[in-house]
Chains A and B, each alone.
Chain A
């Protein structure tokens, strides 16, 4: 080709071709047009997979409730489990259960999330690797046979077994292998049992009846929070705490080293060091013995610093209610418990307010049981050990010794849901099913039989503990057959109303629990010679503080440490979530120069723990207390406090808190203040209702005394409702329903059951420690806690106030939303439309109650399996969207639809929001304010009711009843 030709070609090319840029432009534009027009963007294709054979009861989209029992702890409360499309998604209280009577605590409700915990074992393990059940059973047989051949002991270690069926299986196992069953409780009541052996000759845990008690004195027994059976006790206790007009209200005094939920609700509360507890009990006992004409020898006088006048007042109240009073004590010292039994016997409370003939079986561990076993193990006498349902390598002060002694045990098997601290020391782990996956039963106290009903087949290759023991006992059977057979044998004959066993069984499965016949026995007499063995506790050395390790309301003993709901649940009293801390009294904090979050080191012979400090009013001076249940090493990522939002930094300071079990048996620790600090993840940093700078008090949570209330119903309630109706907008008219809520502050104990109930019902996300520190927690209902300092040794006075969206009539949030994402419904709800919200957050800024929550991130469950626990009836919110309490609008509509289907009107009780359903205190009432006969409208009209910040004129729909404290006249 010549140069000339080439030039011509190039010119031709240039002339004819579209330039590259232009070509791309055209292609892009055409593609965009085609994409928009032809290949329409559509959501991904979805499949519908119907049943092949639809079970009669299964209806997609329709929720059903099944009665079962809560497997959260040995209290064995009744549960109703909501199942949607074959998945259990929510735990609620079962009103037909004789003990819990419709209540369920925060921990119990959170067990639903444990079911979907990806950290659960998915198959049996042998030597840490997957095994088959046949191989595992063979290995267990071999291990046990070998121990027998070597002439070594075989031991079974469990916590309290409330299930008679499981107990029978363990007994059968023990008979076959010559084993011995050792029982211990991480939160023990061994001292009470031992004391009853000494004083009444019957070593049992009494069944306490707080509902029968008119005067209650508790020495460090947190019976509304964590002690034995808190839901049952809360139900019973609150039944006497809402004052009638005739003045019937129980009186409750609490003497304790740290401010517990129970102490926060007491009428008289005084701080009392653990070392002086026995002395104070004896002092109280002497006051009562003198009045009741005690003939025996008086116990010795021990020194204590408690104000005698307080003990005198407690004694007077107890003496005024003979046979209708109750003294309880959480001490681990049998001598102190003996003194408590003595007082109760003097007051005639036996078989009245505390029943030893029909005792409780909820805590059966004996003192020294675990220590005895550890000694046997250390001596190398134990050849085989089966550990079931407990975590002795973590949850007690002997954990370290136990872990070491495990090396001397030739064969060990764990029956566990998780490969926890203990299971990972064992040769084999029989992966146990969750309580919602297995049949079972429970006898929490004499006269109550409760049934576990599986809601779903096991997700993984797991087996109920009952079946494992049956298999190893050489009597393999299904849990269902075994439990059913026991019920046919033992309980069916007691229910004469059923003609056939099938009818009885069907009804049992429907209702979940039965009251069974109680035996009337004469009460055993008090043995006067048991009143001995008292000695003054040694004073801690200078610079040391008395040490109290206590179970927290959220984590209890730590078994649910990998549960994000519970980790983020703020403690009712300290309001701290995520991780533990050391509580100091304000005086000690001042002396040591501590403030919230300052790191301290607690050390004693058993070890050292470094924790952030928390300055806690009500803490006894000279004591330091730390919640247990944290610092687990083998519980999973949540317990280790990983971030829930992917790109946020991992919490490097104290992941998941610190394990203080090693220190827990120590009476005192020395405290060293460290240089660093770690901000507490507190959800409430402001403890008082007094406004700083102005000194003005806003009575947000109102209270009064019983005597004032009896004189005047409006006591403590100032009528400062906004008189003016000069609103900017016309008033709303509510022609149909007008939904409203009433919260009785006298009943609310602050137990936080409603917080978890709401979280489960409304898919409320968990945000993690870093975000809580930025005040970005998402709880739709929170419980505000206020302290009011009082003069003298008592105090502070504590008020709990559950606060959810107040559904204002003149809602400040509604007027500022630029996109009308929040507006008013014809039934008085402030609606929040997620798909319309653009996230300006004006509404949250304008809300006087701070109840609106903003999704700063997409808070997906880190554990994808836990998405299965989401409630399909409620939208999962995305990032950038505001949300808040909706009064459980999904339940309102579900009830409406049902009523329409039944061709009737909505009636009282059709709509029960999640918070009210599970409230163990029955403090929350929901209903129609337009119906003059409804409970809520009656409460709203009551002179005793008020609305928070009503002076703003926002017209809230939530009515609070003034808290009544049963205080003496002079203290009013």
Chain B
């Protein structure tokens, strides 16, 4: 019996010891960086050359501070009336900058970030694309990312211990019975149990194989493609959505292989095959496996979270580092509420007035 107790304590020890990792607070600079990624990086780089709009390296020094603030907050007005803006418009093939609906505070922050990023030395060409990732690789707020001891996890362990105790009492070959049980406990601990001892239905850590070995680390990390470029629904709709094949083909029309390699990558070949066969009799799309799944009685709107400048990574984790997409957060109600209690971070005052996101009916209807 004594041995068993000791075994139990040993087994439960790591659970108790792995206390929750305290959520790290996000510095203002990191917020500004994320804001840049969300709002600007679609069209601009800082030192990475032209994209849709001009390279913003040194932009803070090129124009007066107040002009920049005014222009970013209401580009339409400036593009219609201001001569400097008009000449910029002409330089950019008449592509108008869109209104990003930022507050003055946010624009100030953005300018600080652009200034800081401009002042940083230009990275070597090979690592150029990685540099901004580094700058943005702040610790996202993942309240549940650490190991939490959970009640079901403990219950399972207690059940195993109870089984061992039962066998100790009943069985004749005590030694082998207990060995079997401890082996079971060990197996549980090493296969999955370590990761999946949470609540039933909690999918944290779920990372199914996808039909195409698509790497977010490559696309969002190395290549710096904005999340909203592919998941544009997150801005407009409740559902972020998986990009349609034509979005993939915007690049993969010409990109068939990793840089420096020749031929066509077998994974990209799947995209090309689906695209080429789109009008054929066997037309089919890519059957992606859903990773994030909320029950039907919960309603989550991506667009309102994006509009409130919640960064994708706050809920989805460091996607830009994930080779295979994984559910980073528990997506449990307690996890949602943790943020809702803190209130909408960067929302303007009048939004706070109508907020009240702690109501049950904010999600359950």
Of chain B, the residue at the smallest CB distance from A827 is B356
Which candidate, B25-33, B63-71, B185-193, is the interface stretch facing chain A?
A: B185-193
- A42 touching B287, Cβ below 8 Å: no
Chain B residues, CB < 8 A from A876: 296
- A36 touching B278, Cβ below 8 Å: no
Q: Give residues of chain A (856-902) contacting chain B, Cβ–Cβ below 8 Å.
A: 873-876, 886, 889-890, 893, 896-897, 899-901
Interface string of B346-358 (1 = CB under 8 A from A): 0110110111101
Tell me the minimal C-beta distance from A247 to chain B in angstroms: 40
**Is B254 on the interface with A (CB-CB < 8 A)?**
no
Chain A residues, CB < 8 A from B307: 897, 900-901
Expressed in whole angstroms, the Cα–Cα distance for A36 and B245 within the complex equals 38
Which candidate, A55-63, A550-558, A599-607, A746-754, is the interface stretch facing chain B?
A: A55-63
Chain A residues, CB < 8 A from B275: 52
Chain B residues, CB < 8 A from A34: 184, 188
Interface string of A29-55 (1 = CB under 8 A from B): 110111011101111011111111110
* Binding site secondary structure of chain B: loop
Q: Give residues of chain B (331-365) contacting chain A, Cβ–Cβ below 8 Å.
A: 347-348, 350-351, 353-356, 358-362, 364-365
Which candidate, A307-315, A460-468, A520-528, A829-837, is the interface stretch facing chain B?
A: A829-837
Interface string of B292-306 (1 = CB under 8 A from A): 010111110101100
**Is B274 on the interface with A (CB-CB < 8 A)?**
yes
- A827 touching B359, Cβ below 8 Å: yes
In the complex, how many residues of chain B place their beta carbon closer than 8 angstroms to a beta carbon of chain A? 74
- B245 touching A41, Cβ below 8 Å: no
Tell me the minimal C-beta distance from A207 to chain B in angstroms: 43
Q: Give residues of chain A (813-831) contacting chain B, Cβ–Cβ below 8 Å.
A: 823, 825-827, 829, 831
**Is A905 on the interface with B (CB-CB < 8 A)?**
yes
- A831 touching B364, Cβ below 8 Å: yes
Chain A residues, CB < 8 A from B180: 26, 30
**Is A736 on the interface with B (CB-CB < 8 A)?**
yes
- A900 touching B308, Cβ below 8 Å: yes
**Is B50 on the interface with A (CB-CB < 8 A)?**
no
Expressed in whole angstroms, the Cα–Cα distance for A639 and B348 within the complex equals 55
Of chain A, the residue at the smallest CB distance from B195 is A40
Q: Give residues of chain B (244-275) contacting chain A, Cβ–Cβ below 8 Å.
A: 244-247, 274-275
Of chain B, the residue at the smallest CB distance from A834 is B297
Known A52-B283, A889-B365, A893-B301; contact A60-B196, beta-carbon cutoff 8 A = no
Known A26-B167, A737-B354; contact A52-B274, beta-carbon cutoff 8 A = yes
Expressed in whole angstroms, the Cα–Cα distance for A735 and B172 within the complex equals 70
Tell me the minimal C-beta distance from B364 to chain A in angstroms: 5
**Is A18 on the interface with B (CB-CB < 8 A)?**
yes
Contact partner of A826 (CB less than 8 A), chosen from B152, B192, B295, B359, is B359
Chain A residues, CB < 8 A from B203: 42
**Is B23 on the interface with A (CB-CB < 8 A)?**
no
Contact partner of A47 (CB less than 8 A), chosen from B152, B171, B177, B288, is B288
- B285 touching A49, Cβ below 8 Å: yes
Tell me the minimal C-beta distance from B334 to chain A in angstroms: 14
**Is B289 on the interface with A (CB-CB < 8 A)?**
yes
Tell me the minimal C-beta distance from B280 to chain A in angstroms: 11
Chain B residues, CB < 8 A from A30: 163, 180, 184
Of chain B, the residue at the smallest CB distance from A902 is B101
Chain A residues, CB < 8 A from B159: 29, 32-33, 36
Chain A residues, CB < 8 A from B51: none
Expressed in whole angstroms, the Cα–Cα distance for A587 and B348 within the complex equals 68
- A50 touching B200, Cβ below 8 Å: no
**Is A22 on the interface with B (CB-CB < 8 A)?**
yes
Contact partner of B206 (CB less than 8 A), chosen from A42, A52, A899, is A42
**Is A906 on the interface with B (CB-CB < 8 A)?**
yes
Expressed in whole angstroms, the Cα–Cα distance for A826 and B173 within the complex equals 63
- B289 touching A825, Cβ below 8 Å: no
Expressed in whole angstroms, the Cα–Cα distance for A48 and B244 within the complex equals 11
- B244 touching A33, Cβ below 8 Å: no
Chain A residues, CB < 8 A from B283: 52
Which candidate, B9-17, B216-224, B235-243, B313-321, is the interface stretch facing chain A?
A: B235-243
- B245 touching A37, Cβ below 8 Å: no
Tell me the minimal C-beta distance from A737 to chain B in angstroms: 6
Interface string of B46-59 (1 = CB under 8 A from A): 00000000000000
Known A33-B156, A900-B304; contact A893-B356, beta-carbon cutoff 8 A = no
Expressed in whole angstroms, the Cα–Cα distance for A826 and B278 within the complex equals 50
**Is B170 on the interface with A (CB-CB < 8 A)?**
yes
Expressed in whole angstroms, the Cα–Cα distance for A893 and B357 within the complex equals 10
Chain B residues, CB < 8 A from A38: 187-188, 191-193
Known A896-B354, A903-B348; contact A37-B156, beta-carbon cutoff 8 A = yes
Chain A residues, CB < 8 A from B297: 833-835, 875
Interface string of A717-741 (1 = CB under 8 A from B): 0000000000000000001110000
Of chain A, the residue at the smallest CB distance from B290 is A46
- A893 touching B200, Cβ below 8 Å: no
Of chain B, the residue at the smallest CB distance from A874 is B365
Contact partner of B361 (CB less than 8 A), chosen from A22, A40, A42, A886, is A886
Chain A residues, CB < 8 A from B97: none
- The CB with the most chain B CB atoms within 10 A, among A38, A43, A896, A900, is that of A900
Expressed in whole angstroms, the Cα–Cα distance for A53 and B180 within the complex equals 56
- A906 touching B362, Cβ below 8 Å: no
Chain A residues, CB < 8 A from B188: 33-34, 37-38
- A62 touching B244, Cβ below 8 Å: no
Chain A residues, CB < 8 A from B245: 50-53
- B359 touching A33, Cβ below 8 Å: no
Expressed in whole angstroms, the Cα–Cα distance for A886 and B360 within the complex equals 12
Chain B residues, CB < 8 A from A890: 299, 365
Chain A residues, CB < 8 A from B172: 15
Expressed in whole angstroms, the Cα–Cα distance for A154 and B269 within the complex equals 61
- A62 touching B237, Cβ below 8 Å: yes
**Is B201 on the interface with A (CB-CB < 8 A)?**
yes
- B358 touching A52, Cβ below 8 Å: no
Chain B residues, CB < 8 A from A736: 353-356
- B289 touching A45, Cβ below 8 Å: yes
Chain A residues, CB < 8 A from B170: 22
- B362 touching A37, Cβ below 8 Å: no
Chain B residues, CB < 8 A from A61: 233, 237-239, 241
Expressed in whole angstroms, the Cα–Cα distance for A45 and B206 within the complex equals 11
- A60 touching B361, Cβ below 8 Å: no
**Is B286 on the interface with A (CB-CB < 8 A)?**
yes
- A48 touching B184, Cβ below 8 Å: no
Contact partner of B287 (CB less than 8 A), chosen from A49, A893, A905, A906, is A49
Contact partner of A51 (CB less than 8 A), chosen from B244, B298, B303, B365, is B244
Q: Give residues of chain B (166-183) contacting chain A, Cβ–Cβ below 8 Å.
A: 167, 170-173, 177, 180
- B244 touching A54, Cβ below 8 Å: yes
Contact partner of A40 (CB less than 8 A), chosen from B196, B238, B278, B365, is B196
Chain A residues, CB < 8 A from B192: 37-38, 40
Tell me the minimal C-beta distance from A567 to chain B in angstroms: 27
Expressed in whole angstroms, the Cα–Cα distance for A475 and B159 within the complex equals 78
Tell me the minimal C-beta distance from B339 to chain A in angstroms: 16
**Is B208 on the interface with A (CB-CB < 8 A)?**
yes
Known A37-B192, A53-B245, A901-B307; contact A831-B293, beta-carbon cutoff 8 A = no
Chain A residues, CB < 8 A from B113: none
- A45 touching B365, Cβ below 8 Å: no
Contact partner of A45 (CB less than 8 A), chosen from B208, B242, B243, is B208
**Is B36 on the interface with A (CB-CB < 8 A)?**
no
Q: Give residues of chain A (902-941) contacting chain B, Cβ–Cβ below 8 Å.
A: 903, 905-906
- B171 touching A829, Cβ below 8 Å: no
- B299 touching A52, Cβ below 8 Å: no
Expressed in whole angstroms, the Cα–Cα distance for A941 and B360 within the complex equals 29
User: Shortest 3 CB-CB distances between A and B: which pairs?
Assistant: A61-B239, A54-B244, A51-B244
Kindly list 6 other residue pairs between chains A and B, CB separation below 8 angstroms, not including A46-B293, A50-B245, A829-B361: A34-B184, A37-B192, A46-B289, A52-B285, A825-B359, A900-B307
- Can you sample 11 A-B contacts with CB below 8 Å? A32-B159, A38-B187, A40-B196, A40-B200, A45-B289, A45-B290, A48-B287, A54-B246, A60-B241, A736-B356, A834-B364
